């Protein structure tokens, strides 16, 4: 039986590498993206390696594109084995500098987009009594950090959703996996959206954190490592709830676990300001 995978946000970075890794692992893979003109790159690799990859339009902000995409997959393949919710973007700016509309847009893509896509695939997975849903969260889904409250809270919401879903979907043999990358070298940082006011009271900290993030992104973990972790997770009989990726993610999560809230806050302040 040919297994079928769907990946959102496959035009670049983690989604691109994960779609390729799934196809190399034998899945018929739907590499979905909001702008299918960006699909040539993955189709070129697929052609060279003889991989079963199809590009379909899916914008997680637009319900109709999700429904149309899932319908095509079901009409053609009658099954969905793996859904990787990967599409997302990075809104940067301190709480007073972010408009409610900017904040809503961040949640629209990073959180509600995931909810919509999950709701669209669940009837099929439930009928099959199997399926794996992989939610690409972040170490930012577990740790607060200045200048990124919109992104961080969208990922915290995704963690809460994923933890809760696991209980609901387990009786139908549907598994939920959270992936928590640290800083990964992708387009996320080049395409970040910066929300700052001209007379912002937070100019200094915003510039400092942005500079730090740019430096960290240049030394980030390659996206192929996230893809490898996703394959390892979906191939394990009993996947863990969470898979961190990258030494930075492991370091921050270990510190969070071993310290009190105040000790952890002081540790982040020291990392940031000294
Ligand atoms: N890079 C990191 O350090 C890092 C760390 C932890 C977690 N993550 C998470 O990993 C995921 C992938 O990001 P990445 O690092 O691979 O960055 P990326 O290279 O910028 O990829 C982001 C992908 O999401 C797509 N996307 C954005 N909005 C979308 C929408 N409304 N509908 C469908 N697709 C949309 C982008 O499409 P376009 O090409 O059309 O813009 C692109 O394909 C994100 O959820 C991100 O939060 C990244």
Segment 92-103 mean pLDDT: 97
pLDDT at 150: 98
166, HSE (Cβ side, Cα atoms, 13 Å): 15
Q: Residue 182: its pLDDT value, please? A: 97
165 vs 272: which has the higher pLDDT = 165
136 forms bridges with which residues in the sheet? 179
Protein residue closest via CA to atom 37 of ligand 1 = 9
pLDDT at 4: 98
For residue 91, what pLDDT band results from cuts at 50, 70 and 90?
very high
Cβ atoms of 53 and 25 closer than 8 Å: no
* Beta bridge mates, 132: 82, 175
Judge if the beta carbon of residue 159 lies within 6 A of ligand 1. no
By C-alpha distance, which of 167, 161, 73, 178 is closest to 120? 73
- pLDDT value of residue 207: 93
Q: Is 143 helix (H, G, I), strand (E, B) or coil?
A: coil
pLDDT of 122 strictly over 80: yes
d(CA 208, CA 253): 23
pLDDT of 180: 98
Please provide the average confidence, as pLDDT, over all residues in the chain: 97
Q: What does the pLDDT look like over 29-87, one tens digit per residue?
A: 999 999 999 999 999 999 999 999 999 999 999 999 999 999 999 999 999 999 999 99
Among protein residues, the one with the nearest Cα to ligand 1's atom 25 is: 9
Distance of CA 31 to the CA centre of its chain: 14
Closest atom of ligand 1 relative to the 221 alpha carbon: 3
Q: What is the pLDDT of residues 175-208, one digit of tens each?
A: 999 999 999 999 999 999 999 888 999 999 999 9
* Cα torsion angle, 63, 76, 166, 253, sign: negative
205 to 55, 87, 108: CA distances (angstroms): 41, 28, 26
Distances in Å between the Cα of 31 and the Cα atoms of 34, 56, 119, 151, 238 are 10, 6, 19, 24, 26
> Which one is catalytic: 27, 28, 30, 151?
151
Name the residue of 9, 64, 212 to mutate for ligand 1: max ligand atoms within 8 A of Cβ. 9
What pLDDT score was predicted for residue 271? 82
Q: Is 133 helix (H, G, I), strand (E, B) or coil?
A: strand
Mean pLDDT of the 216-223 span: 94
pLDDT on residue 273: 76
CA of 93 from ligand 1 middle (Å) equals 18
pLDDT of residue 196: 81
Q: For residue 151, which atom of ligand 1 is closest to its CA?
A: 47
Is 244 touching ligand 1 by the criterion CB < 6 Å? no
Q: What's the Cα-to-Cα distance from 187 to each of 28, 62, 147, 153, 273, rounded to whole Å? A: 26, 22, 19, 21, 26
pLDDT at residue number 197: 86
Does residue 243 carry a catalytic annotation?
no
d(CA 161, CA 178): 10
């Amino acid at each position: 039986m040919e297994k079928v995978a769907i990946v959102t946000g496959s035009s670049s970075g983690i989604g691109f590498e994960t779609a390729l890794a799934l196809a190399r692992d034998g899945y018929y893979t739907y590499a979905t993206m909001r702008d299918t003109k960006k699909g040539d790159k993955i189709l070129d690799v697929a052609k060279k390696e003889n991989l079963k990859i199809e590009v379909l339009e899916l914008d997680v902000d637009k319900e109709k594109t999700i429904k149309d995409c899932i319908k095509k997959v079901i009409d053609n393949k009658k099954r969905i084995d793996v859904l990787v919710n990967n599409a997302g973007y990075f809104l940067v700016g301190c709480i007073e500098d972010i408009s409610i509309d900017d904040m809503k847009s961040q949640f629209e893509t990073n959180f509600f987009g995931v909810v919509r896509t999950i709701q669209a695939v669940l009837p099929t997975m439930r009928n099959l009594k199997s399926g794996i849903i992989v939610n690409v969260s972040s170490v930012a889904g577990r740790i607060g950090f200045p200048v990124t409250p919109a992104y961080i809270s969208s990922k915290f919401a995704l963690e809460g959703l994923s933890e809760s879903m696991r209980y609901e979907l387990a009786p139908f043999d549907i598994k939920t996996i959270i992936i928590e990358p640290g800083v990964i070298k992708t387009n996320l940082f080049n395409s970040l959206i910066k929300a700052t006011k001209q007379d912002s009271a937070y100019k200094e900290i915003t510039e400092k954190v942005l500079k730090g993030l740019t430096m960290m992104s240049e030394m980030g973990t390659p996206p192929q490592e996230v893809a490898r972790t996703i394959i390892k997770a979906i191939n394990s009989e009993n996947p863990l709830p969470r898979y961190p990726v990258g030494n930075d993610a492991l370091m921050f999560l270990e510190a969070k676990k071993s310290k009190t809230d105040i000790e952890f806050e002081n540790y982040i302040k020291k990392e940031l300001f000294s």
